[in-house]
Amino acid sequence: MRSAIAVTVRILRQFKHDPRTIFMMIIAPVLALFLLDVIFGSPDYEPLVLHDGVSAELAAALVDAGASIEEATEAHALAALEDAEADAFLAERDGTVRVWVEGSDASKTGAVLRAIAQARRETVATPEIELPVIALPDGTTIDLSEHVELPSFAPPAEPEVTYVHGAADFRGFDYYGPVFIGVFVFFYVFITSGISFVRERTGGTLERLMATPIRRRELVLGYVQGFGLFSLIQTFIVAWASIYWVGFPNLGPFWLVLVVAESLALISLLLGIFVSEFANGELQVMQLMQIIVIPQILLSGMFDLSQTPAWMQALSRVFPLTYGADAMRAVMLRGADFSSVAGDLAVLWAFAAVLYAANVLALRKYRAI
């Protein structure tokens, strides 16, 4: 019994001299729960429906059905749908209702179509005709409804629905598939590079390399090229299997999916190396991951942030995984070309350049040059 108590005391003393572990065990779960509470505690999503030529009654009914509406010309509305800045466009021409939906998110498309269907049911009501009962002089009555055939009123025709992106057979999970590809690549490359670099340090390999004439920037470049070759193979397999085996839709060129995913892998690789330079062991790499990677995953677009507070939306734009998720969705769900995602890629490569420079500077504690 005394031996077990001695072991317990030794473990407690280790925690006492390792405040980072205590911080990660307490603060990291609380932070993750706080972010999840803000995300899921936000108001329900209100689809933005642009409209032109619809009656005031239908517009009011759309608001009652939970949609946010704005007037717009057809050209402006279609441009907004092309850029995924609106969810649908509703127009009424010669008694025919036409609907254009953005279409890449099946859940939002469903919300739009349900709101439109509910609004039309409220504004196009089937008339009710009641025939009177006639009393004759002899005291008998005749119920005209038993002798007169009432005209039938057909329900209003279903609106014509056009998908700007996506398709009617998109599943709800298809919208999250591109994000999961980016998240899995980012997550596993971070763990692999971080733990591998810690082993290089603890095994003495890094010190031996620093004793050679190699420059710090060359050392970082060498590690990036070595780990990067492995991450390139990993990224190709994950992306290929997700699209051609799992069945995630991909409307864009496969090579562009690889470019975006590999850009995320490069950032994760550099971030993992940078974090491992300040970790005392593999356990601390895993602990730091809770603060560095998990918040990025929660705010990357895996959950809808459009109804969350402005500070959370601004915070999400600080993380590279957000730009990678946006680019992956643009390519896979909207068929974007290179020019359309060039802005997101430029941000990703800027993150990579900053992290590369940070790694070179972090190695100064081993050697100044």
CB 103 within 8 A of CB 170: yes
Architecture of domain 48-149: 3-Layer(aba) Sandwich (3.40)
pLDDT the model gives residue 351: 94
Mean pLDDT of the 308-322 span: 88
* 220: confidence class by pLDDT, cuts 50, 70, 90: confident
Most confident of 43-47, 108-112, 210-214, 268-272: 268-272
Mean pLDDT of the 220-238 span: 84
Buried b (16+ CB within 10 A) or exposed e, 59-69: bebbeebebeb
For the chain, which residues make up each domain, given as ranges? 48-149, 176-365
pLDDT beyond 60 at 153 = no
Q: What is the pLDDT of residues 262-307, one digit of tens each?
A: 999 999 989 988 888 777 777 777 777 777 888 888 888 777 787 7
SS3 143: strand
* Residue predicted with more confidence, 169 or 311: 311
* 31: confidence class by pLDDT, cuts 50, 70, 90: confident
pLDDT the model gives residue 255: 94
What percent of the chain has a predicted confidence (pLDDT) above 90? Answer: 13
Q: What is the pLDDT of residues 67-106, one digit of tens each?
A: 888 888 888 888 888 888 888 888 877 667 788 888 888 8
pLDDT the model gives residue 257: 93
Least confident piece of the model among 133-137, 272-276, 349-353: 133-137
pLDDT the model gives residue 263: 93
Mean pLDDT of the 168-196 span: 84
Whole-angstrom distance, CA of residue 325 vs CA of residue 55? 39
Q: What angle do CA 254, 256, 261 make, to 5 degrees?
A: 95
Whole-angstrom distance, CA of residue 26 vs CA of residue 8? 20
Contacts of 297 (CB under 8 A, 6+ apart): 183, 186, 187, 321
Q: Where are the alpha helices (DSSP H) in 242-319?
A: 254-276, 282-292, 294-299, 310-316
pLDDT the model gives residue 9: 65
Mean pLDDT of the 356-367 span: 79
Whole-angstrom distance, CA of residue 58 vs CA of residue 92? 10
Burial of 194 (0-12, 13-18, 19+ CB in 10 A): buried
Site of tokens 């810690």: 198
Burial of 163 (0-12, 13-18, 19+ CB in 10 A): middle
* 54: confidence class by pLDDT, cuts 50, 70, 90: confident
Whole-angstrom distance, CA of residue 233 vs CA of residue 9? 46
pLDDT the model gives residue 120: 76
Q: What angle do CA 254, 80, 171 make, to 5 degrees?
A: 50
* Residue predicted with more confidence, 276 or 137: 276
Whole-angstrom distance, CA of residue 110 vs CA of residue 91? 18
SS3 227: helix
* 19: confidence class by pLDDT, cuts 50, 70, 90: low
Whole-angstrom distance, CA of residue 300 vs CA of residue 320? 8
pLDDT beyond 60 at 154 = no
